[in-house]
C-alpha cells in the first residue's frame, strides 16, 4: 500500500481531479521512488563537485537491491537532492532517504513500512545538521532564536514527522489495512501542528497563508483488491469532512462493502 498527501496554500486557479485509472498492479521492474516530499536547508553547504551528472542515469544496471542502491546514492550524494524520498525494490523492501545538498541520511524500516514528510529531517545526523544551519540563518536575518516564524514552522514540521512515523509503526506492527492507512493520511486526532492532515491552522505568530491538505490518496497497489481512495479539499471544508472518490484497478471487481461513504466509483 501507499499513501500521499499534498499540503500547500490554497490557490484559486488550481483544480484537482481524481485519477482516471487505479493502481496497475504491475510489479516494480527496478528500484522505484514511491513517494517524496520537499525538504531543504537554508545556509546549506555547497558541493565541492559542480559538473552536472544525473546519478540515476549513470547508475549501473546490475544494481538490483536497496543496499547497493543506497550505497551508490551516498557515493554520489553531492550530485542530487535535496528532498525526502521513499524508495522500494522489486521485493517491496523500502528505505527512507533524507537529503540536503551534500549530506544524506538513511532510515531502514523496522516492520517493512517507510514514510517521509516535508521540511524536516529525523535521522540524527541530518536533524542536528539542519538545526545548526537553521541557527545560522536566524542570526544572519536578526531573528530571535526561537520566537520567529521559521522556527515555529519547522518545529511543527518535525513534530508532524515524528507523529507520522509513530502512526506508521503502529499500523505496520499489526496486519496493515487500507482503512488503517486512511486513518494515518487523514489524521486529525491531535491538535495542530502534530496532526498529519492540515485544515488551514496557523501556528504562533505565523502571518503567512496557512497550509491545507489539498489532496490525499490511499492505495492498495497490488493484488485483486487494487484500488485508490482519493480526497480533495472543496470549499472551506477540510478533506476529512468530504467523501472520497474510489478508483478501481483494471480488472478489479467492485465489492459491496467498498461503496460505503464513497461519493463516486471510477472504473477503468
Over residues 97-114, mean pLDDT:
96
pLDDT tens, 22-67? Answer: 999 998 888 999 999 999 999 999 999 878 889 999 999 889 899 9
User: 101 with 45: CB under 8 angstroms?
Assistant: yes
State yes or no: pLDDT of 86 exceeds 70. Answer: yes
128 vs 146: CA distance, rounded Å: 16
Q: Per-residue DSSP letters for 175-240?
A: ---HHHHHHHHT--SS-TTT-SS-BS---TT--SPPPEEEEEEEEE-SSTT-EEEEEE-BTTB-GG
162-183 average pLDDT score: 97
Residues 160-171 pLDDT 10s: 999 999 999 999
User: Please, which pLDDT band fits residue 147 given cuts at 50, 70 and 90?
Assistant: confident
Rg (CA), the chain: 20
Q: State yes or no: pLDDT of 203 exceeds 90.
A: no
Assign domain 2-266 one CATH number from 3.90.550, 1.10.8, 1.10.10, 3.60.60: 3.60.60
Task: Tell me the whole-structure pTM to 2 decimals.
Answer: 0.94
Give the pairing type, strands 212-220 and 227-232: antiparallel
Q: Check if the beta carbon of residue 185 is closer than 8 Å to that of residue 150.
A: no
d(CA 203, CA 190): 14
CB-based contact 121:98 (threshold 8 Å):
yes
Name the strand (E) or helix (H) holding 84.
Answer: strand 83-88
Amino acid at each position: 500500500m501507499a499513501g500521499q498527501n499534498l499540503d500547500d496554500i490554497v490557490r484559486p486557479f488550481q483544480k484537482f481531479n481524481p485519477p482516471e485509472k487505479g493502481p496497475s498492479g504491475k510489479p516494480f521492474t527496478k528500484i522505484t521512488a514511491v513517494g517524496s516530499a520537499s525538504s531543504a536547508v537554508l545556509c546549506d553547504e555547497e558541493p565541492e563537485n559542480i559538473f552536472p551528472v544525473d546519478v540515476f542515469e549513470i547508475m549501473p544496471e546490475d544494481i538490483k537491491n536497496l543496499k547497493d542502491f543506497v550505497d551508490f546514492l551516498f557515493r554520489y550524494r553531492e550530485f542530487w537532492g535535496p528532498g525526502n524520498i521513499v524508495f522500494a525494490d522489486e521485493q517491496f523492501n523500502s528505505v527512507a532517504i533524507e537529503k540536503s545538498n551534500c549530506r544524506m541520511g538513511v532510515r531502514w524500516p523496522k516492520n517493512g513500512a517507510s514514510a517521509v514528510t516535508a521540511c524536516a529531517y529525523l535521522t540524527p545526523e541530518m536533524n542536528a545538521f539542519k538545526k545548526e544551519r537553521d541557527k545560522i540563518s536566524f542570526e544572519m536575518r536578526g531573528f530571535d532564536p526561537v520566537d520567529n516564524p521559521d522556527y515555529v514552522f519547522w518545529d511543527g514540521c518535525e513534530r508532524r514527522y515524528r507523529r507520522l512515523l509513530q502512526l506508521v509503526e503502529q499500523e505496520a506492527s499489526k496486519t496493515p489495512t487500507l482503512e488503517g492507512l486512511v486513518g494515518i493520511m487523514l489524521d486529525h486526532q491531535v491538535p495542530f501542528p502534530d496532526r498529519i492532515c492540515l485544515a488551514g491552522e496557523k501556528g504562533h505568530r505565523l502571518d503567512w497563508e496557512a497550509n491545507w491538505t489539498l489532496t490525499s490518496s490511499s492505495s492498495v497497489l497490488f493484488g485483486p483488491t487494487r484500488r485508490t481512495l482519493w480526497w480533495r479539499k472543496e470549499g472551506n471544508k477540510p478533506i476529512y469532512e468530504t467523501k472520497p472518490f474510489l478508483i478501481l484497478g483494471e480488472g478489479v471487481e467492485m465489492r459491496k462493502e467498498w461503496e460505503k461513504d464513497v461519493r463516486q466509483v471510477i472504473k477503468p
